[in-house]
Structure formats: C-alpha cells, structure tokens
Structure 1
Amino acid sequence: MANSQTDMDEWVKAIRRVIWAPFGGGIFGQRLEDTVLFERKFGPRLAPLLVEQCVDFIRERGLDEEGLFRMPGQANLVKELQEAFDCGEKPLFDSNTDVHTVASLLKLYLRELPEPVIPFSKYEDFLTCAQLLAKDEEEGIQELGNQVNTLPLPNYNLLKYICKFLDQVQSHCNENKMSVQNLATVFGPNILRTKMEDPVTLMEGANTRYAALLKCIHNP
C-alpha cells in the first residue's frame, strides 16, 4: 500500500518498534529517553547498549583504521545488523566484522534518533555559541559549557560519552587520518541539526555543528 520504497521502510520500522520495543528492540528511530529507560534494568550506563558495543569494538580494533567514520561500511551488513538490533537481538561483532560497518551502524543510530542528541529546542542556543566562539573563544567555551549543562540527562550523558570517544579517535589521527576537524564535520549532522532546514540554515548549521562539536571534542 506504500507509495514508495522509502514509505514502506518507514512503515516497517514503525511496526517493528511497536512489536519489539517491549523486548529491547526497535531502537532505531526510538526516542533516546525511551531506550535509556528500558536499558536501566541492565544497570547504570552513559550510553545505549548499541552505542557502547560499537564504541568498544572500534576502540579494540579500529582506532588506527584509515578513514574511520569517513569510509562507508558494507550497506547490506549495516542493514542486517540494524534489523537484528531492531528485532531485540544482540548480534556480536567478531574478528570478521568490518570496522567501517560498525562505524556506519553507530552513525546510523545517531542519525535516526527522532530528536538529535542536542535537541531541536537547543539549536538556536548552540548557534549563538558558535557565533560567540568566533568572536571570543574563552567566553564562547564558557557559554557552550553552560548550554551543554542544560541538556536532558540522557542527552548530556550520551554527548559526553561520544565526545570522549571521539577525543580518543583523534589521538590516533596520524594513523586514521581523522583529525578533530574531520570528526566534527562527519559527526556534526548526526548530533546537532535543526528541525526544518532551508538552504540558509543549512549553511549556518554546518558552521554551528562544526564549531560547537569541535569544542565539545576538545573539552569532553
């Protein structure tokens, strides 16, 4: 009944969330706070289990991988892993798992959050921070810290977790060629975006994401 493949995929994901969310599935496209609430039964943590699993694997096997987070993973395997997690399974990564595939899965999870790690309501505030950073770096960093501290706790914890990890990734930039600037460019759209973007806000948003995330990674 769907009008396009995209519409069909969205319906399938929505149905999967309804069916599997009570069993720990349906996490792609699920609200961050709902995932955190469900996974609280497994003990306190800063990030969803999927994020931790991806990060742990990359830390162990991928920090020196050239083009990490820039090179695409195997699209069919990314989709298979996404569907497995969405069906409540907990697929394990092993020595045969491609690092770029796991990196792509992590970015996909962040991109499919219905509201980004930095909520839509905070977009303008972070835009102001980016403008302030360009004028007065010290004052801009202070204001950025103030804004980060106003984030809902699940968002704050996840942002802190990701930025600490990305700081570790950039410490291997001689091998992986992913500097702080490159990481900010790649991750910016997955962490901070506006709800409705026209060409002007797209350009402003690119600068905002880059400047704000750059400082978050530098000061995790």
Structure 2
Amino acid sequence: MRIKNANMQHDRLHQTKSMVFTDSGEVPKPISRHRRNHSQHYVSDNITPRDISVNENKEGVLNQTKITDRGKKLRKNWTTSYIVLSGRKLEIYKESKEQAVSNLKSGNKPEWIDLCGAHVEWTKEKSSRKNVFQISTVSGNEFLLQSDADITVLEWFHAIRNKIDSLGKEQQFPSLSVNIRRSTSTELLHLGADSKEQKAEQRKSLISKLNYSASDTCDRNRVKTRLKKFISRRPSLKTLQEKGLIKDQVFGCPLETLCKREHATVPHFVKHCIEAVEKRGLDAAGIYRVSGNLSTIQKLRFVINQEEKLNLDDSQWEDIHVVTGALKMFFRELPEPLFPYCFFEQFIEAIKNQDNDLRVKAVRNLVKKLPRSNHDTMKTLFEHLRKIVINASVNLMSTQSLGIVFGPTLLGPEKDTGNMAVCMIYQSQIVEFMLMEFDNLFY
C-alpha cells in the first residue's frame, strides 16, 4: 500500500489500489456512525467524491433485492450478496467470495445486471432502509442496493455511475471500441465484442416483442371469432325449455302464467305454504312479522324453482319463519303485484269513503273485477290471514300488524309518486279493511 505525495508521482503507475487524502494531506476525520447524526436514507454530507476511492473493477458485499422484472413489480426480498463489477455487467453471487469463485470455476453463471444504457439514482421512497440506490436497466429490470456503511455505498454508487457513463460514451463513439490494456489490470476489455453482443441482444429482444405482440393479436381475434360463432349458434330459450335444460321458474313468474302452467287458479307453492303455517305456525309469536334465516329462505327458493316436488315438513324447513319468509318473497317478486297496478288508485279512492257501507260496496266491486287468478289467490291468502287474526292472543298478530306487513307486499303504484309515507298508510289500511270485512267482500 503506497501513499500519494508530491515527491512520489511516479509511484502512481505501480499502484494496484490507492488511498486518496485531502489536498491538505490530512487524514479525514472519522465519520459518526450514530443513527441520529445522519439521515436514514442518505450518506454523510461531509463526504465528497474526492474522498472516495473508485475502481472500474470492484467487488464486495452489499444488500440487494430485485423489485421489477421486465416491468412486472416484485416483492422486496433483501439478501446479502457478493457483488462483482466487471466489464459492462454487475454480477450478483448469493454466497461468499470463496463459494462464488468455486462456482465460476465449475461453470455456474451468477445473476447479472447489464449496465449498458442503465440508470442509477438514490432513492428513499422504495425502502425504509438508509443508503439505498436503484439501478434501472433498459430491459425493464430494477434493483435496489444498500449498505449501512456510508463510504462503502458511496464507492459503489460512483463506481457504477462511472461505468454506466463510460459505456454510454463507447456507444456514442464506436471508433474508440478497441482492445485496451490498463496499467492497473491485466484484463483485456473487448469493448467492440461487447457492443456487438449488446446489439444482437437488443435485436433479439425487439424481434421477440414483435412476435409476442403479433401472436397476442392473433389469439384475441381467434377468441372473438369463436365467441361470435357460439353466440350465433346458441339455442333459443324456448328450445332449452323444451329439452328440459332450463325449467320454468316459480319466483318472478307472472301470476296468470304460473297458474296456467299449473292448471290452477292458485299457485301450488302458495297453497303448500299456507297449509304448513296453519299446521304448525298459528300459535308462533310474531308469525309473518319475524324474519327467517335469509340464506335458508334462498335455499328454499332454489329448491322450489328447480324441483317439482316440495316437502315443507322436511327437517331443513322446520323453522316456520323460513316458510312465511319464502311466501312473502314470492309475492314481492311478482312482476305485477297481487293487486294489479291499474287497480291501485281505485282501491285508494274506495277506501277514502267515510261511509262504511259505501266503502264495502266499492271494494267488493273492485274485487269482482280482478283477474281470476288474482281473485282466487287473494281470497285464499286473506282467508288464511283471518285465521292468524283469530289466534292473535297467542301469536300477537292483529289486523293492524298484518296490514303493516302485507300492505307494501301486495299492492303499490307502478311509478314512484314521491310520497311514500302516505302511500304506505293507504296500503296498510286497504289490507286491514279487507281482513275485517272479508266475508262481505268475498262471499
């Protein structure tokens, strides 16, 4: 190890490594390593590039992680690696120096970073560690390198930046790409060969990107063509229903259509639910007001839509509130309510009559005008609800309670009038009135 001074300028050519002092000849003062004395992300401000020993060929231990692979973000995985800066590459060995040398002799190639056209910069947004700098390559790869030692990380940063700058100049002036033997090293730098290799790699990368883009476009067109053929050849809904692949739904089906399909004036599902409630739910507290388990109700709905036979005495439907919840859902999902839209305003006008006899007469005339399926289903339902009211001392459901529950479910306006509170009052009053005057309205 030799020291540079004014009387020994000729020794410079024989040095393999140099330690540079300040202009005054004094050794720089030790740098405080305490975390409070410097930034978490940057090295000490007292260190200048003149204080750093920079070698073109450099090796040592750094913490490194790859955060982007060809434009795809990766999760940070910091590892302590042995780094070698040689030629146009930064080689990364994930083991000790001795193991790296043995691997090189055995022919194992390490991971490496192509510095030609790369960019190096300090960064504090990418990591909470201090002294972190980033290398971005032309192929879309990004690496973070770090060391807790300020001098070490500065030496590496300037060495890599100088290497990148020198590679950029070689590309700008290709006539300078000749075999050069340095006085400090016996290594031949085949810059011309490296430049040719780089151009060949860039050409292959461009060709592969073009091929990928063309194949990707071809695949998309092929998928579009197949989708168009599938859509044009798909069978109609009627054909699928005739083959039995799609069964007719019960929920959401128009009442008249459902009754015609079942050859009845009252849907079978409504009858089954009423029978189950009258068999084991007349004395259930809050019947029709208490909500059942929604997931079980949806399961019952699915079974009804897919299967012809329904057994509500099965243990999975033992909660009577699930049965009543499904019945209310059936009436809510009718495309047109049980009280048709065209009758809604007429029922409101009839219920506004102050004279009870006139009110009964007006409502009875409207009930008689209802379509057959609506009339018979309404009669069956209100006859059932009358039995609920008779047991009100046990189940605590009065005509007023049932009016509040079934009013919005059975009738409503086709278009929102904007006065929902008034509308709900009339809905409840109509249902309550029809329960109290049931015999006079349907017989």
Shorter-chain TM-score range: 0.7 to 0.9
| Structure 1 alignment gaps of length 5 or more | 1-13
Match in the other structure for 1:192: 411
Answering whether residue 430 of structure 2 is matched by residue 212 of structure 1, we say yes
Structure with the larger strand share = 2
Tell me which of 28, 32, 45 is aligned to 2:255: 32
In 2, Cα distance between equivalents of 1:191 and 1:147: 15
Match in the other structure for 2:92: none
Does the C-alpha gap of structure 1 residues 150 and 106 become closer, same or farther in structure 2, counting only changes over 3 Å?
Answer: same
Higher Cα Rg, which structure: 2
Report 1:1-220 matches (<5 A).
25-40=248-263, 45-94=264-313, 96=315, 97-132=318-353, 135-200=354-419, 202-220=420-438
Q: Residues 23 and 88 of structure 1 are in contact (CA less than 8 Å); yes or no, is this contact kept in structure 2? A: no
Q: Residues 259 and 373 of structure 2 are in contact (CA less than 8 Å); yes or no, is this contact kept in structure 1? A: yes
Q: Residues 31 and 113 of structure 1 are in contact (CA less than 8 Å); yes or no, is this contact kept in structure 2? A: yes
In 2, Cα distance between equivalents of 1:210 and 1:107: 15
Residue aligned with 1:170, SS: helix
**Alignment-mate amino acid for residue 129 of structure 1:** A
Q: Residues 116 and 192 of structure 1 are in contact (CA less than 8 Å); yes or no, is this contact kept in structure 2? A: yes
**Alignment-mate amino acid for residue 271 of structure 2:** E
Computed over aligned residues only, the root mean square deviation of the Cα atoms, in angstroms, reads: 2.4
**Alignment-mate amino acid for residue 105 of structure 1:** A
In 2, Cα distance between equivalents of 1:33 and 1:185: 26
Q: Residues 339 and 410 of structure 2 are in contact (CA less than 8 Å); yes or no, is this contact kept in structure 1? A: yes
1:70-105: CA deviations, max 9, x gaps?
100111110001011111343311263110000000
In 2, Cα distance between equivalents of 1:24 and 1:62: 31
RCO higher in structure (CA 8 A, sep ≥6):
1
**Alignment-mate amino acid for residue 324 of structure 2:** A
**Alignment-mate amino acid for residue 174 of structure 1:** S
1:106-130: CA deviations, max 9, x gaps?
0000000000011001111011012
Q: Residues 25 and 88 of structure 1 are in contact (CA less than 8 Å); yes or no, is this contact kept in structure 2? A: no
Q: Residues 281 and 320 of structure 2 are in contact (CA less than 8 Å); yes or no, is this contact kept in structure 1? A: yes
Does the C-alpha gap of structure 1 residues 21 and 164 become closer, same or farther in structure 2, counting only changes over 3 Å?
Answer: farther
The structure 1 segments of at least 4 consecutive aligned residues displaced by more than 4 Å after TM superposition are 17-24
**Alignment-mate amino acid for residue 330 of structure 2:** Y
**Alignment-mate amino acid for residue 252 of structure 2:** G
Q: How far is 1:207 from its partner?
A: 2.0
What is the TM-score when the length of structure 2 is the normalising length? 0.43
1:159-197: CA deviations, max 9, x gaps?
111110000111000010000110011011111111112
1:31-71: CA deviations, max 9, x gaps?
0001100111xxxx542100000000000000000000010
Q: Residues 27 and 85 of structure 1 are in contact (CA less than 8 Å); yes or no, is this contact kept in structure 2? A: yes
